[in-house]
A = this chain, B = another copy of it.
Amino acid sequence: MPFIPHTEKDIAEMLKAIGADSIEDLFDEIPANLRSAGLQDVPTSTNEMEVTRVMHERADQDARTLCFLGAGAYEHHIPAAVWELTTRGEFYSAYTPYQAEASQGTLQLLYEYQTMMASLTGMDVSNASLYDGASSLAEAVLMAVRANRKSKAKRILMPRSVHPAYRKVAHTIVHNQGIALEELDYDRSSGIIDPDSLPKDPGDFTALVIPQPNFFGNLEEVDTLTDWAHQHGALVIGVVNPTALALITPPGEWGEIGADIACGEGQPLGAPLASGGPYFGFMCCRQTYVRQMPGRIIGRTEDLDGKEGFALTLQAREQHIRRSKATSNICTNQGLLVTAATIYMALLGPQGLQRVASHSHANTVKLADRLVDKLDGAEKVFDRPVFHEVVVRLKQPVRDVLQGLSEEGIVGGYPLAEEYPELDNCLLLCATETKTEADLDAFVEAVVRIAGRL
């Protein structure tokens, strides 16, 4: 039987030891009228050979694309070693390290991960992961409400320059608790929150969310924003791209005293695009707030002999101990992706990550410049330094351009108008370090060709 090792002899002897006549008898406490009549919509079983063929065909159907889309998920080169190691059975098929002594591999790796992330964000501590970028922002909002004891307002300032999906997810997760997410608009010419537009007297608010880079790729005035929020007794939640942190100021160094919580999407650190998941969310914070942090945290400690070892710690925050008073309901997180991220960061090192970041930046700028140069009427929408995404407005309907590109196997960027009606015919473009000169040219030529037909 698939994945079941029992022989007929085993079954007979085991039933005898139990004192039952048949396996069916073992279900005798289940009321007969509830018993399932069988399955209709599950196909008959296949073997690995057949399913291999199906999956190869389906993967092939979607393959061989050239991708200039970012918008929260970024195509970076992932060293082969990352997933060859990550999928080793000892990582892949273990569970949450409840028995620390039998899980030192995972535990030490997570401690190393926490060290890397804390350092990358410039914060004191990191947890061991959340689900993804959007849900990490939602958890950061909940955490800020717990952590900011001075504020009673349950009011979060949420810029429109934050990823629209993140804002939606945060809303889904926090709104039932009476937390208000209040929009902050962005400046139409710079594409960032205009520091001059911040209210002098904003009233009681719990936290300000600052995206860096923001959804448009633009770099926000993080220092001013951070200090402004702190001056008004609010916490600062930085939503950051981890690759960018190799290049730009980390949240821990924003303004006078730095952000209070940093969170974001871990995908750029070794997770493939893979249709959107599994990725992982990261979260770091000041030491002060560590007991308000959701999710697993690993600590270094000693064993009976005084030897260094690692264990889950601060479990009193978690649902399996604290139940209804836990900091979050999260249990299973994204351990395997964090394994990949840790190995990814170890393989790249500070220099490698910095090069990935700077090449992604340079390619994106080059792409936009060439497109504006070659395509009549195309223009950059914002006059602002960017990281690795940029907004370009076309004269042509972008839906048609994207459709044309898709027919040539090109995923051509993110059409902004759906979420930002004011940005009609604007594309959010991204060209990471994976793109060659020839790729950039191929994209620009394809757009010019397609636009010419419209």
Contact = CB atoms under 8 A, between A and B. Distances in A.
A48 B79 contact: yes
A64 B60 CA distance: 9
Label chain A's interface by main secondary structure: loop
Interface string A112-142: 0000000000000000000000000000000
A447 B298 CA distance: 64
Given A84-B87, A87-B84, A88-B88, A52 B64 contact: no
Contacts of A77: 47-49, 52
Interface in A53-91: 60, 64, 77, 79-80, 84, 87-88
12 contacts: A47-B77, A48-B77, A48-B79, A48-B80, A49-B77, A49-B433, A49-B434, A52-B77, A52-B80, A60-B64, A84-B87, A88-B88
A450 B433 CA distance: 47
Nearest to A56: B64
Interface of A: 47-49, 52, 60, 64, 77, 79-80, 84, 87-88, 433-434
A236 to B, nearest CB: 36
Instruction: Select the residue from A47, A49, A88, A434 with max chain B CB neighbours within 10 A.
Output: A49
Nearest to A60: B64
Given A48-B80, A49-B433, A49-B434, 9 more contacts: A47-B77, A48-B77, A48-B79, A49-B77, A52-B77, A52-B80, A60-B64, A84-B87, A88-B88
Nearest to A52: B77
